[in-house]
Structure 1
Amino acid sequence: MKLLRLSPIALAVAAFAVHAQETATEPVATVVVSASADASAQGLPSAYAGGQVARGGRLGLLGNVDIMDTPFNTTNYTLGIIQDQQARSVGDVVANDPAVRSARGFGNYQELYMIRGFPVYSDDMAYNGLYGLLPRQFVASELLERVEVLRGANSFVTGAPPGSGGIGGSINLLPKRAANKPLTQVTAGVETGGQGYLATDVSRRFGEENRLGVRVNAVRRDGDTAVDRESRELSVYAVGMDYRGRGYRLSADIGHQDHQLRGARPSVTVNDALPIVAAPDSDSNYAQPWTFSGERDTFGTLRAEADLPGGATAWAALGMRKGDEFNIISSPTVTALNGATTMTRFDNVREDDVRTGEVGVRTELKTGAVSHKLSASASTFHAESKNAYAMSDFAGFPSNLYRPVDVAAPSSAFFTGGNMNNPLLTQKTIASSLAIADTLGFLDERVLVTVGARYQKLKDYGYDYGTGAPNAAYEEGELTPVAGIVYKPVKSVSVYANYAEALQKGPVASGVNIVNQGEVFAPYVSRQKEVGAKYDSGKLGMSAAVFTTSRPSGAVVDNRFGIYGAQRNRGVEMNVFGMPMQGLRLLGGLTLLDAEQESSGKDVIGVPKTQLNLGADWDVPGVQGLALNARVLYTSKQYANDANTQQLPSWTRLDIGANYLLRFMDRDVTLRARIDNVTDKRYWASAGGYPGYGYLVQGNPRSVVVSATVDF
């Protein structure tokens, strides 16, 4: 077992936290301050019964909206479920959502989230409402207070995301803030493979009426994982601050994440002439030992909100990120039923520079018997990406999926694009938008009608990898409207409908053996119709929705990536959450999907027809502080190629856990244990994610993680 190498900063934060707790005096809190991710007057929506999800969440320029008042289907996961399930990343959190399945980016280890059968790339997630600010491939859960999932097209609500997502849904991540009560937590743990874990979470409020809040998080993971010969190192540091003045509010965040993988298990491609082969042993690793993936990101945000005369509120926000990535990847292609493969080496380096901002105003008024909630905003986004890549001989080298063969790293100088030591600018994306919305209330707010539109202008420029010369560009604008209605026949029931559009940034041709590498495609619009109903008893919540979405689709034909035909996804969603009886918490649901290529009538790559989640958390009677939990995930068959001749089997996974809160030496201590994939099932978890490709990602093996959290 590897020993956990603790960074000096993590140790220093822990030591400072303990000292601060021992010497701090109890503040007199004459102003009530709740944890609010944006230091807004609205505050953070309260948790629903059971504490696993929230009563509402942020809907872009509309602000925080209660789940019963929005014409969309949303779920907002809280810090409570993040901690109790010992989630490592956003992917672990959204595993609770029946409309979401995690996949992987093409040719890397990027977390990718399929919502309603459409990809949401990790760099399309918003950080407190702003795009492009968080690390591209992996976002550590310790940065987050909440994970808000909006299902459905959302370009009006949040603007067009920078990475071609936003059609099936969006994910907004909220940073942590200091609450009234001082917090000093230290968590240590270990998981299968010997990976160690240490985290500190410290917050205080200072000054007159405790107006200034500071929260510091430091995280370190280091060691092998449950996959044979795979190791991970993660360092995260984040500071969140807020100030609540008289008539104005400020907040700021700065963070750094360093994430490195060595010998990580790669994606697998199966030759199109073969059926899908059986997945290897659950902990088997067919990676070459010299493969590597590293990502370092530093990011920050600043947000301000001010109260204006007449009850209006204005806000402004800006953010920046600088990111560096370096990868040495070798992914196998299966060429025979016995698991024989060919592998090549692919290296790439990437540098990102992102700047984004938003301003807006929101107010409420009445015209006769009709209430109005008016919102308007303007946003801007600017990103530059420098890239270079290098490949080995396309003939590759042999190995076997079931009996991997290690080879010396081949030269990657056979085919290159740009200078790996000095990558040039290869892509620039500039986006701007103006949006306006009005939510009209009729019949004492029993009927809510939301109408609005966002005009968005996208500029995308491509440059030659070797010379930096421009080789592709477009500048296009589009108006994306929205219309939604909510009707509440009784207090506990909402019926809703919406029409929404998604403006999707055109893709960039990329991948191995693509002859038009780097070609930039123009943006296109997707259209969604949805109707649904929601129920809220105060203790148990339920929702159901029927939707259909269509969009142009990308594919690879004769080694050339292009926009060919269209994709139509339609389906039904049902969700349940809350605490129907004391001590029992439920979270889960069912999604039925039909994703079709309209030109051929075939099913779309990587979209299962059935996704089922069943989760329960139970307080054990007679044992104060002890809770047991279990979760079952079911995913039906899915196709891995456009012709539908390759099909992944369905899979079912069982996860269990236990949490025990006790007092030890006059301290609150929380002990947690969790086993994911209890039966150690071997299975292909997903196919594809990037348009036109059906690469396979194997599900993780059985993994045991235990930790202890001490409140000082």
Structure 2
Amino acid sequence: MSSSTASTASRRASTAVDRVDVLKGPSAILAGIAPNGSLGGTINYITKRAGSEPLNRVKILYGSDSVFTQQVDFGRRTDDGKAGLRINVLNRNGETSFDEHVRTDSITIGADYKGDRYRLGFDYGYVYNKVSDQQYQLTIGSGALKTMTSMFKVPRGTKFGADGGYRAIHEQYGMLHGEYDFSKDWTGYFSYGLRNTKMEYFYNNFSLSDRLGNATMKYSYNNQVNKADSGEVGVRGKFFTGDLKHELTVGANRIHYTRYMNNRTVKSGLKTNLWDIDFQVPENPYSWSEPKNDENTFTGVALTDNITTPNEKWQFVLGGREQRVKVDTYGTKTGAEKTHYDESVFTPAFAVVYKPQKNISLYANYMQGLDAGDSLVTDTDASNYSEAFAPFKTKQYEVGAKYDFGKWATTLSAFDIKSPTLIEDTATNRYAPNGEVRHRGIEWNVVGEPHKGTRLMGGLMFLDATYRNTEGGLYDGNRVAATSRWNAVMGLEQDIASVPGLTLTTNLTYNSSAYTNEANSFRVSPWATWDLGASYKFKAGGVPLTLRGDVYNVTNRNYWRALQNNGVFLGKSRTFLFSLTADF
């Protein structure tokens, strides 16, 4: 069951997820406009269901500096296998490597029933998460930008979030999904989901003023309620026209969500120094309030036809979605409507796959994506904060090849993605869609088990992400903020034959340098991290146990990650995690 369309949940409990499908690139044809503003891809969660065998699993984790986690996973099916129930409960509490205090409680329930011609599924989740004394980004202020082009090193674990700050989230969601087989070739389906999320933040913005470490701080209080409901209905099936097989899907969906939010400045202009930070935490004079901030309704109808030749050497995908987008924003103080957008747009999709051999696939596609999230000004310091623009349409061209060697497989692809973007006018502190970003690159991936007991997964990407057609050509040719030209990851698992049940793992991650702004005047250096792990499966008293230990950032690399809007985030220092899992 896909849960992403059904609930548009913002804080999915990971304990409820059985599998995660990552669909790269724009994909408006699949689920419509991205409700949370993601054009780089779509994440589809497949929720857990009870298996054929009873499950009683307990997992205990300990992570540095002192985070304890307890998790219970329970699953049962009826004797006839038709009805199933899966329950996951999690509690996490303790201090992280940034001296944050984390508390998470969640419970998820997944139920399903399999009839002769129909299937039903239901999911419910409750998540509470609070992070106190949280770490925040460091903003490079205008003064520092005049004298600095890169960030100097700071002691590991330096805190830019004030003690006394917090962010708390309560979320509940529910989903219902059903399928009915009209015949062996045709199936109807529906999904419906609800979500209610309450969030409260008391936080500081730490802005560097110069290379000496002088800084200013601003404290803000933000509370909001997000309410969402979504539904989908459709039919899928197959038929033949001559020798060609058609797999047809026709579906309609609707996503509606409303945000009630009040973001207020508590105190600003506080002076301090990075080398001896005095956070000067003020009293918060504000209380909870829920003025309507924005309301969004996305409706659409889509049709796709997957056409296959008799020998399966050729496969063609044709499709399109008619999407209506309605976005309204409101004044926090007056409650009056500030901006309004209500239009429809058609997004086509085309793809072709050619298999010269059974283990070789060559493909090309053209996809479009829609994004309302990035067309809404979210910078709270902007003069036109919360202004909504027409949704951005993204166009992607991609070609690639996949070679399956049996025990392992590799893919190579080249892509070109173009999309409008919001650009800040620094003179007026106003954002407008005065530009375009183009992401052009080549990506190589490999996955498999080339030798029994040796599993690998990795990839390498060259990304040329640049601004184009900016007003007056001001940023044309500059690299898009927070993007690296080179990204690489390689993971290896090795079973130790001489010690049955023992597996060693290692992972390497690399990101080349990246800029923090459109002007490319400030950048962070390249960074790489190395992770190590080991797991050991054994039995004690007839109970299957798995003992696992992981070390992240083994070399304790001190590095910065680039963010947009002149932000940087200090990478985590060396972190340990140990767990014990028992299946009773």
Give the TM-score category using the shorter length. Answer: over 0.9
Segment drifting more, 500-509 vs 568-577: 500-509
TM-score for the superposition, normalised by structure 1: 0.79
2:552 pairs with 1:654 = no
Query: Is this contact kept in 1: 2:7–2:174, CA < 8 A?
Result: no
Q: Corresponding residue for 1:317?
A: 191
Q: Corresponding residue for 2:436?
A: 566
Q: Secondary structure at the match of 2:438?
A: strand
Is this contact kept in 2: 1:594–1:609, CA < 8 A?
yes
User: CA shift at 1:444, angstroms?
Assistant: 1.5
Distance 1:277-1:428 versus aligned 2 partners, 3 A rule? same
Pick from 27, 30, 44: which aligns with 1:172? Answer: 44
Is 1:233 the counterpart of 2:103 in the alignment? yes
Select between 266-275 and 670-679 the one with higher mean Cα deviation: 266-275
Alignment of 1:613 onto 2:489:
yes
Tell me the CA shift for residue 466 of structure 1. Answer: 1.3
Residue identity in the other structure for 2:415: F
Higher relative contact order (CA 8 A, sep 6+): 1
Aligned partners of 2:95 and 2:479: how far apart in 1?
A: 38
Aligned partner (choices 212, 220, 237) of residue 83 of structure 2: 212
Q: Answer with 337-346 or 571-580: which moved more.
A: 337-346
Retained in 2: the 8 A contact 1:686–1:698? Answer: no
The answer to whether 1:290 aligns with 2:164 is yes
- Residue number in structure 2 paired with 1:442: 309
1:256 counterpart = 2:122: no
**SS of residue in 2 equivalent to 1:605:** coil
Deviation digits for residues 660-694 of structure 1, max 9, x if unmatched?
A: 00001110000010011111111112322xxxx13
Please point out which of 391, 398, 414 is paired with 2:271: 398
Which residue, 1, 6, 14 being the options, matches 1:141?
14
Q: Distance in 2 between matches of 1:570 and 1:365?
A: 38
Q: Which moved more, 1:596-605 or 1:249-258?
A: 596-605
What does residue 3 of structure 1 align with?
none
Match of 2:567 in 1: 695
- The equivalences for 1:582-661 within 5 A come to 582-598=452-468, 599=470, 600-661=476-537
Task: State percent identity of aligned pairs.
Answer: 28
The CA deviation at 1:535 is: 1.6
Distance 1:435 1:194 in 2: 49
| Residues 120-176 of structure 1: per-residue CA shift (max 9 Å, x gap) | xxxxxxx344352242xxx442221111111111111221111222x2211111111
* CA drift at 1:310: 5.6
What is the 5 A alignment of 1:8-407? 37=1, 127-130=3-6, 132-135=8-11, 139-165=12-38, 167-207=39-79, 209-227=80-98, 229-271=99-141, 272-273=145-146, 274-309=148-183, 311-394=185-268, 396-407=269-280
What is the letter of the counterpart of residue 707 of structure 1? S
Task: Give CA-to-partner distance per residue, 1:57-90, whole Å, 9 cap, x none.
Answer: xxxxxxxxxxxxxxxxxxxxxxxxxxxxxxxxxx
- Of residues 519-528 and 194-203 in structure 1, the stretch that sits farther from structure 2 once superposed is 519-528
Residue identity opposite 1:508 in structure 2: L
Unaligned runs of 5+ in 2: 471-475
User: Could you tell me how far apart the structure 2 residues matched to 1:464 and 1:596 are?
Assistant: 34
CA distance in 2 between counterparts of 1:528 and 1:411 reads 47
Q: Is the 8 A contact 1:606 1:694 kept in 2?
A: no
Residue 348 of structure 1 and its aligned partner are, at CA, apart by 0.4
CA contact (8 A) 1:270 1:276 kept: no
Runs of 4+ displaced beyond 4 Å: 410-413
**Which residue of 295, 312, 323 maps to 1:428?**
295
Question: SS in structure 2 opposite 1:309?
Answer: coil
Higher strand share: 2
| CA drift at 1:503 | 1.4
Aligned residue identity for 1:346: S
Determine helix, strand or coil for the equivalent of 1:210. Answer: coil
Assess, with a 3 A threshold, how the Cα gap between structure 1 residues 128 and 397 changes in structure 2: closer, same or farther: closer
**Shift of residue 279, structure 1, vs aligned partner:** 3.9
Q: Secondary structure at the match of 2:421?
A: strand
Q: Name the structure 2 match of 1:513.
A: 381
Aligned to 2:473: none
TM-score, normalised to structure 2, is 0.95
Aligned-residue offset at 1:639: 0.6
Q: Which moved more, 1:602-611 or 1:283-292?
A: 283-292
- The answer to whether the 8 A contact 1:345-1:410 is kept is no
Counterpart for residue 667 of structure 1: 543
Is the 1:277–1:339 Cα contact (8 Å) retained in structure 2? no
Deviation (angstroms), 1:458:
0.5
Counterpart of 2:431, as a letter, is F
- What code does the residue aligned with 1:576 have? V
**Cα shift at 1:412:** 6.0
In structure 2, the partner of 1:98 is: none
Q: Deviations over 1:578-599 (max 9, x none)?
A: 1111000101110110001113
1:21 aligned partner: none
Cα distance per residue 1:316-364 (max 9 Å; x no partner): 0000000000001102111111222111101100101100010010011
Residue 309 of structure 2 aligns with an amino acid whose one-letter code is: F
Contact 1:480-1:501 at 8 Å conserved across structures: yes
Q: Is the contact between residue 635 and residue 650 of structure 1 (CA under 8 Å) also seen in structure 2?
A: yes
Following superposition, the deviation at residue 556 of structure 1 comes to: 1.8
| Aligned residue type for 2:151 | V
Kindly state the Cα deviation for residue 443 of structure 1 after the two structures are TM-superposed. Answer: 4.1
CA contact (8 A) 2:402 2:410 kept: yes
CA contact under 8 A between 2:91 and 2:104: conserved in structure 1? yes
Q: Tell me, what secondary structure is at the counterpart of 1:344?
A: strand
Q: C-alpha offsets along residues 491-548 of structure 1, whole Å, 9 cap, x if unaligned?
A: 1111000001111216222323211122111112111100000122232021111000
Letter in 2 for 1:664: A
Query: What displacement does 1:410 show?
Result: 5.2
For residue 218 of structure 1, what is the amino acid of its counterpart? V
Deviation at 1:400, TM superposition (A): 2.8
State whether residues 365 and 373 of structure 1, in contact with CA within 8 Å, keep that contact through their aligned partners in structure 2.
Answer: yes
Give the letter aligned to residue 489 of structure 1.
P
Aligned to 1:31: none
Root-mean-square deviation (Å)? 1.4
CA contact (8 A) 1:391 1:412 kept: no
Residue of structure 1 equivalent to 2:336: 469
412 and 588 in structure 1: CA distance in 2 versus 1, 3 angstrom threshold = farther
Secondary structure, in 3 states, of the residue corresponding to 1:142? helix
Which residue identity does 1:425 align to in structure 2?
K
The unaligned stretches of length 5 or more in structure 1 are 1-36, 39-126, 414-419
Which letter maps to 1:597? Y
Q: Conserved in 1, the CA contact under 8 Å of 2:245 and 2:310?
A: no
Deviation at 1:379, TM superposition (A): 0.2
Query: Contact 2:538/2:545 (CA < 8 Å) preserved in 1?
Result: yes
Q: Is the 8 A contact 1:128 1:175 kept in 2?
A: no
Separation in structure 2 between the aligned mates of residue 528 and residue 400 of structure 1, nearest angstrom: 46
Structure 1 residue 577 corresponds to structure 2 residue 450: no
- Secondary structure of 2:15's aligned partner: helix
Q: 1:676 aligns with which of 546, 552, 566?
A: 552
What amino acid sits opposite 1:696 in the alignment? V
